[in-house]
Amino acid sequence: MTDIGHAVRQICAVYHNDASRLMDIIEAVQSRYGCVSSEAMNLIAQALGIPRVEVHSTVSFYSFLSNRPKGRVIIRLCSDPIDEMFGMLPVANTFEETLGVHVGETTADGAITLEWTPCIGMSDQAPAALINDVVVTYLSTDKAREIVAELRRSGDPRKLVHRLGDGHNAHPLVRAMVHNNIRRKGPVVLADLPPGAALRKALAMSPIEVIRDIKTSRLRGRGGAGFPTGMKWEFTRQAEGARKFVICNADEGEPGTFKDRVILTEYADLMFEGMTIAGYAIGAKEGILYLRGEYAYLRPLLEHILQVRRDAGLLGRDICGKRGFEFDIRIQLGAGAYVCGEETSLLSSCEGRRGDPKNRPPFPAQKGYLGCPTSVNNVETFCCVARILDRGPGWFAEIGSKGSPGTKLFSVSGDCAAPGVYEYPFGITLAELLRDVGAEDVQAVQVGGPSGQLVGPDSFGRRLEYDDLATGGSIMIFNSSRDLVHIVRKFLEFFADESCGYCTPCRVGNVLLLRKIEEILHDRGSPDDLHYLEELSATVKFASRCGLGQTSPNTVLSLLRNFPEVLKRRLKPPAGEFLATFDIRAALADTERLVGRSSVMYAP
Amino acid sequence: MSSKPRIATCSLAGCFGCHMSILDIDERILQLIELVDFDKSPIDDLKHFTGRCAIGLVEGGCCNEENVHVLQEFRRHCDILVSVGECAICGGIPAMRNNIPLKECMDEAYRNGPTVYNPSGVLPNDTALPLVLDRVYPCHEVVKIDYHIQGCPPPADAIWQTLVALLNNRPVELPYEVLKYD
Ligand SMILES: Cc1cc2nc3c(=O)[nH]c(=O)nc-3n(C[C@H](O)[C@H](O)[C@H](O)COP(=O)(O)O)c2cc1C
Ligand code: SF4
Ligand code: SF4
Ligand code: FES
């Protein structure tokens, strides 16, 4: 085992002992040794010439990285409410029983670890889990037992895949049981385009003209914030710097979102084409696809598509014969951290560090990856770019609504007949969408994921577009049997877990919000709590450093605004002086036992 | 009984420092006497409430059942309850025991401590002694608290301004200097 020194040095050498590739190095060490031990951290630090604490800080940040050995197989169950609605709790119990461990533990033989993880991007085929890199979907208690039996037999998660999914899910490089569930195709994203067609049209123009076209199309970012893409590119192009970068944000961590998964599976060429056009437009030679760790199963296919594009002259030097235009793309794998979808955290992560957000300004367009001007865009945004260059900005701007041109992919999950991916022109009403997906008896819809808003039937006439009900794509549907307070609690648990911990309002505030909602759930809420929740939410939103904390209270606020009666039903004024959450008997029990007498003042 | 509003004060698990700070309003204590009557308070040594109070000032958190009882009485008799100082708001120094299991605290205090002589190892259990709680609770985890004045102790000015504002039904103005502690 002394050879770990040799192996680690070799791995570091593959990445030219470049500390900014620490993520890749750590991932390689972990996949070889099962964890990044203290010894391995020392060796990495030595080889890269960086303080050990930097290695430790990266390892400890990401939930998929570990400094202690875990099972050879790690089962990660999706903990989101959607999966719970479709029977995850009995499935989890079955795993616990058959494995003889609780969630969070490893079997005594070191073979299997059982964990919770937030949304793995399979909400349309819940309940779902990741077993190492292998996705398993539509789980049941029977399947759980079969899975454990197979893992005990072969120890090989790949053997769990019997029937392959549709499209590229059945590709020899993927071999996943995942289904695309494409329910409605539109003209922009989910449509075919011969590789290179849009790129050639772009290269026939000057970079400035390409940016002008994107501006004319009025394309806005599809990742959530809706920033005008042309403007972002212009800033990046104009920023000083010899080296510039294009980054595609495929972190897709917002629970209930899985449309990027489908693009990555079926339309990766379109996305890479958009990235290459971006490289040409802003003057970047290098691109990075930041792929969430949960989608590692797609990596071999994506690497293959990149190679095919290189071989076809669509990446590399003198692309499409255009002298001097050089661009290539590498894949950076994430490791299970929602906050890394926030663009400045994503940059930190690409640089090999813990996914802490950065201060703004400077914005990534001025100083991004490694301090160079960088444009970060969503997967779907790049697909729109390619289509705009192919069909023209006028064609694109005609689709959709006034402030929101084009189409949008919606990831629909929850209580409906046909969960899956739908491409619609912007501006359709929520009611139209709900009708098409076969949703009945709808109590509430979470639009835009936990960081978005929970709306009720009085909002179903509203339009899905930037200026009304904005969403990065997540649409979760809850029928009248669902407990909305419980759902909000699950969302707050998610934020409390995923907060990077850098700033107090988010790190502490989300925990306080969670506690208060839990008290209400346990019938210990009082009418004063409404005011408390309102004030605390406002503080967390106002004082947090990045988008995570600035949006995490939305779930609470929309419950307060749109479903006051759901909350009020559970609140009652305390009967005496004590708060409903204070239990004097419980507070005295230990002492009574220790001293051997009961309280006189508060007799049992 | 005079028609002046009444105020009450108490020290729960505190060091009386906050009460010292109340007295630290110096000669304004005379103005205060003009404005209010003191009900139950260590200041006049009244042991029981004599009537309804406008304001109760609470120093210290709850470390035992007696603290809880007094706080309960305060909530019952006061229209507005104010947590004064770090101990009332967060538990303060006494709450340092909250990270140590209760039994360990008891053992250290009554059995194993270097200055303890207790051959029978019995823990104090006379009914005259209030039982300690499993941990030290800030006041607002026990009863509803309407306002908090922070500081250890809060400066006399902060207490004074708060009292005057509450008595006159005006928003309190606490300039930055009054609430700056570093
Ligand atoms: C906590 C958090 C998570 C985010 N996750 C994602 C994500 O998974 N994918 C994404 O494209 N944008 C995500 N964003 C938005 C990005 O910060 C950024 O705005 C976006 O990638 C820009 O691309 P666009 O202009 O094409 O939308 C996230 C933002 C926050 C605050
Ligand atoms: S708001 Fe603060 S603590 Fe929360 S994720 Fe952002 S930087 Fe981290
Ligand atoms: S807050 Fe400070 S001054 Fe007041 S009781 Fe506590 S320790 Fe004493
Ligand atoms: S995979 Fe469970 S909610 Fe997305």
pLDDT band for position A124 (cuts 50, 70, 90): very high
pLDDT, average across residues A550-579: 95
Q: Which of B68, B103, B110, B148 to mutate to test the interface with A (most CBs of A within 10 A)?
A: B68
SS3 state at A34: coil
The verdict on the CB of residue A377 being under 6 Å from ligand 1 is yes
Say if CB A498 and CB A546 are below 8 A apart.
Answer: no
Contact at CB, B130 and A588, closer than 8 angstroms: no
pLDDT band for position A574 (cuts 50, 70, 90): confident
pLDDT at B178: 86
pLDDT, average across residues A4-30: 97
Give residue-wise pLDDT tens across range B93-105: 999 999 999 999 9
pLDDT, average across residues A345-350: 98
Give residue-wise pLDDT tens across range A195-249: 999 999 999 999 999 999 999 999 999 998 899 999 999 999 999 999 999 999 9
* CA separation for the pair A213, A232 (Å, rounded): 13
pLDDT at A517: 97
Q: Does ipTM top 0.90?
A: yes
Chain A residues at the B interface, defined by Cβ less than 8 Å, are 528, 574, 576-579, 581-582, 584, 586-592, 594-597, 599-602
Contact at CB, A588 and B134, closer than 8 angstroms: yes
* CA separation for the pair A485, A18 (Å, rounded): 48
Exposed, middle or buried: residue A129 (CB in 10 Å: 0-12, 13-18, 19+)?
buried
Check: CATH 3.40.50.700 for B6-96+133-178?
yes
Q: Name which of A574, A579, A592 is nearest B131 (Cβ-Cβ).
A: A592
pLDDT at A199: 98
Both tokens of B173, joined, read 């103005």
- In chain B, where the domains are located: 6-96+133-178
- Is the per-residue pLDDT at A141 higher than 90? yes
Say if CB A283 and CB A206 are below 8 A apart.
Answer: no
The closest alpha carbon to B149, from B158, B141, B157, belongs to: B158
Q: How many CA atoms lie within 13 A of A118 on its CB side?
A: 28
User: Rg (Cα) of chain B, in Å, rounded?
Assistant: 18
pLDDT, average across residues A144-158: 97
pLDDT at B180: 78
Q: Name which of A582, A595, A600 is nearest B124 (Cβ-Cβ).
A: A595
pLDDT at A475: 98
Give residue-wise pLDDT tens across range A29-76: 999 999 999 999 999 999 999 999 999 999 999 999 999 999 999 999
Say if CB A82 and CB A138 are below 8 A apart.
Answer: no
Please provide the DSSP assignment of A357-408 as one string: ---SSSPTTTS-GGGS-EEEEEHHHHHHHHHHHHH-HHHHHHSB-SSSBSEE
The closest alpha carbon to B21, from B43, B5, B39, B38, belongs to: B43
- Delineate the domains of chain A, giving CATH numbers in brackets: 3-61 (no CATH), 73-162 (3.40.30.10), 183-397 (3.40.50.11540), 407-482 (3.10.20.600)
Q: Percentage of residues in chain A with pLDDT exceeding 70?
A: 100
Q: Name which of B125, B131, B143 is nearest A588 (Cβ-Cβ).
A: B131
Q: Which residues pair with A374 in a beta bridge?
A: A245
Q: Which residues of B touch A599 (CB under 8 A)?
A: 65, 131
Find the A550 Cα to ligand 4 centroid distance in Å: 23
pLDDT at A391: 97
SS3 state at A421: strand
Q: What are the residues whose beta carbons fall under 8 Å from the beta carbon of B115, sequence distance 6 or more?
A: none
Mean pLDDT by 10 residues, chain B (182 residues): 87 97 91 92 94 97 98 98 98 96 96 95 94 98 95 94 94 86 71
Q: Which residues of B touch A576 (CB under 8 A)?
A: 72
SS3 state at B20: helix
pLDDT at A550: 97
Give residue-wise pLDDT tens across range A282-315: 999 999 999 999 999 999 999 999 999 999 999 9
pLDDT at B179: 82
pLDDT at A2: 59
* CA separation for the pair A529, A535 (Å, rounded): 10
- Is the per-residue pLDDT at A385 higher than 90? yes
